[in-house]
């Protein structure tokens, strides 16, 4: 009989098994293993120019801040884990004073609470000292943020194929 289901599994489950071969234990490992380990292919985005940050939105809830520093692309979750403001509106920090380890650079500073996050690993770092109105607002947000606990941000690896210009992203 045409259209009859031969089991109690949904179409989504069947498609996921056919794509993954049924061997992945989690969604994260499935995405990491996509495209020969390069991650999920990203289409419809423009990559940032040198020293710039661009915000990408996927669906309704996934926002990513992508930056290009010294010819390399970096990506980090798009909202600050501390104050939930848009990190892609922040500043790139390459100053040695913002990390004991040179491997922690470059960093991105939240435009609201000034907390910095490593673009390579998402680790929380020292706050960027701002002056004037931005400094005043930053000091207010430190007392008014949803939590004083410093959480690390999620960092992503961005790769681009040289010959086809295809862009891929996976969680670090």
- Give the Cα separation of 122 and 153 in Å (integer): 5
CB of 103 within 8 A of CB of 90? Answer: no
Record the tokens describing residue 133, joined without a space.
């109105």
Considering only CA atoms, give the Rg of the chain.
20
What percent of the chain has pLDDT above 90? 21
Q: How far apart are the first and last CA of the chain?
A: 47
Identify the residue with better confidence: 20 or 93: 93
- Of 29-33, 52-56, 96-100, 105-109, which gets the smallest average pLDDT? 29-33
pLDDT at residue 3 is higher than 80? no
Record the tokens describing residue 77, joined without a space.
């979750």
**What does the pLDDT look like over 61-85, one tens digit per residue?**
889 999 999 999 999 999 998 888 8
| Residue 17: band (very low, low, confident or very high) from pLDDT cuts 50, 70, 90 | low
Record the tokens describing residue 39, joined without a space.
């991650």
**Which pTM does this prediction carry?**
0.70
Q: Which residue is it, tokens 């990190």?
A: 87
| Residue 16: band (very low, low, confident or very high) from pLDDT cuts 50, 70, 90 | low
CA 10 to mean position of chain CA atoms: 31
**What does the pLDDT look like over 104-136, one tens digit per residue?**
789 999 888 888 899 999 988 877 776 655 555
């Amino acid at each position: 009989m045409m259209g009859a289901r031969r089991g109690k599994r949904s179409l989504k489950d069947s498609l996921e098994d056919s794509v993954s071969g049924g061997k992945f234990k989690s969604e994260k490992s499935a995405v990491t293993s996509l495209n020969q380990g390069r991650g999920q292919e990203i289409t419809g985005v423009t990559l940032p120019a040198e020293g710039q940050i661009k915000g990408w939105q996927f669906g309704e809830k996934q926002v990513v801040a992508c930056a290009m520093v010294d010819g390399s692309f970096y990506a980090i979750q798009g909202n600050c884990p501390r104050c939930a403001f848009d990190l892609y509106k922040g500043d790139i920090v390459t100053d040695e004073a913002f990390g004991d380890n040179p491997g922690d650079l470059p960093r991105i500073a939240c435009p609201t609470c000034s907390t910095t996050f490593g673009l390579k690993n998402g680790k929380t770092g020292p706050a960027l000292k701002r002056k004037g109105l931005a400094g005043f607002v930053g000091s207010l947000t430190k007392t008014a943020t949803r939590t004083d606990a410093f959480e690390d941000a999620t960092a992503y690896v961005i790769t681009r194929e040289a010959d086809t210009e295809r862009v891929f992203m996976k969680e670090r």
